[in-house]
């Protein structure tokens, strides 16, 4: 049991800072998180990126927030294009998210990213064809938060949503991010 009164400063007295940092990361990794494909578009450029930091943040209007590392190609496309599409992926397609941990090769003629077919909805952001549900969003706000930017998008289109299909989550893979 943790006694909050025993904690002083950034880490408990007598605890090695490196050990404390490892503990903090492990606890942060235990937060339940989905694992998605985030589609972005700016002009003729399109990308899909594996993303786990996404959540609904408003009901009226419907707003979705995603957090993207500033150095990512996806960040650049979000700033330039002002839109994104979040593809929900089935647990059965867990291997697919590994294809998008680096910028994707785009074949506009075949409409593929890293060989995976995509479709677009109203914003033009790519939606992975394997998605079991998707949310198409227009960026309304940006908030710098250290190494990342939180992009808040208004949901302007959606599809899929079969609740009988289990959605992929971080704990379904050996992947970890953040912490």
Q: Tens digit of pLDDT for each residue in 56-100?
A: 999 999 999 999 999 999 999 999 999 999 999 999 999 999 999
Reading the block at residue 65, the tokens are 């927030």
Instruction: Kindly provide the b/e burial profile for residues 125-156, where b requires at least 16 CB atoms within 10 angstroms of the residue's own CB.
Output: bbbbebbbbbbbbbbeeeeeeeebbbbbbebb
Is the pLDDT at 4 greater than 50? The verdict is: no
Report the CATH number at residue 66. 2.30.110.10
Average the pLDDT over 25-32 and give the result. Answer: 81
Position 173 scores a pLDDT of: 85
Is residue 149 assigned to a domain? Answer: yes
| Domain co-membership, 88 together with 10 | no
Q: What is the mean pLDDT of the chain?
A: 90
Is the pLDDT at 13 greater than 90? The verdict is: no
CA quadruple 55, 58, 63, 66: dihedral sign: negative
Domain count of the fold of the chain? 2
| Domain co-membership, 88 together with 72 | yes
* Element spanning 21, H or E: helix 17-29
| Domain co-membership, 119 together with 47 | yes
How many other CB atoms are found less than 10 A from the CB of residue 102? 12
Is residue 177 assigned to a domain? Answer: no
Q: Specify the higher pLDDT residue, 83 or 23.
A: 83
Position 3 scores a pLDDT of: 43
| Domain co-membership, 24 together with 84 | no
| Domain co-membership, 49 together with 133 | yes
3-state SS of 116-143 is: EEEEECCCCCEEECCCCEEEEEEEEEEE
101: CB partners within 8 A, 6+ apart: 49, 50
Three-state DSSP class for 171? helix
Euclidean distance between CA atoms 84 and 155, whole angstroms: 9
Q: Specify the higher pLDDT residue, 40 or 176.
A: 40
Is residue 12 assigned to a domain? Answer: yes
| Domain co-membership, 21 together with 78 | no
| Domain co-membership, 48 together with 122 | yes
Question: What is the pLDDT confidence band of residue 18, given thresholds at 50, 70 and 90?
Answer: confident
| Domain co-membership, 87 together with 144 | yes
The parent domain of residue 139 ranges over: 34-172
Is residue 148 assigned to a domain? Answer: yes
Verdict on whether the full-model pTM lies above 0.85? yes
**C-beta of residue 78 within 8 angstroms of C-beta of residue 88:** no
| Domain co-membership, 69 together with 124 | yes
Position 10 scores a pLDDT of: 60
Three-state DSSP class for 170? helix
Ranges 7-21, 99-113, 137-151: which has the least confidence: 7-21
| Domain co-membership, 57 together with 145 | yes
| Domain co-membership, 1 together with 83 | no
| Domain co-membership, 42 together with 85 | yes
Cβ-based burial of 74 (10 A; exposed 0-12, middle 13-18, buried ≥19): buried
């Amino acid at each position: 049991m943790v006694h909050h009164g025993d904690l002083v400063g950034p880490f408990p007295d007598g605890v090695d800072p490196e050990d404390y940092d490892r503990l903090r990361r492990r606890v942060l990794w235990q937060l339940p998180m989905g694992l998605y494909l985030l589609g972005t578009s700016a002009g003729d450029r399109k990308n899909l990126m594996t993303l786990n930091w996404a959540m609904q943040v408003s009901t009226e209007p419907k707003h979705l927030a995603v957090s993207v590392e500033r150095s990512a190609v996806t960040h650049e496309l979000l700033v330039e294009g002002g839109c994104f599409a979040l593809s929900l992926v089935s647990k059965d397609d867990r291997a697919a998210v590994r294809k998008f941990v680096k910028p994707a090769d785009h074949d506009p003629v075949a409409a593929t990213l890293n060989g995976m077919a995509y479709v677009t909805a109203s914003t033009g952001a790519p939606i992975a064809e394997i998605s079991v549900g998707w949310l198409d969003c227009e960026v309304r706000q940006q908030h710098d938060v250290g190494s990342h930017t939180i992009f808040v998008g208004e949901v302007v289109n959606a599809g899929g949503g079969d609740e009988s299909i289990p959605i992929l989550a971080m704990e379904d893979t050996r992947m970890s991010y953040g912490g």
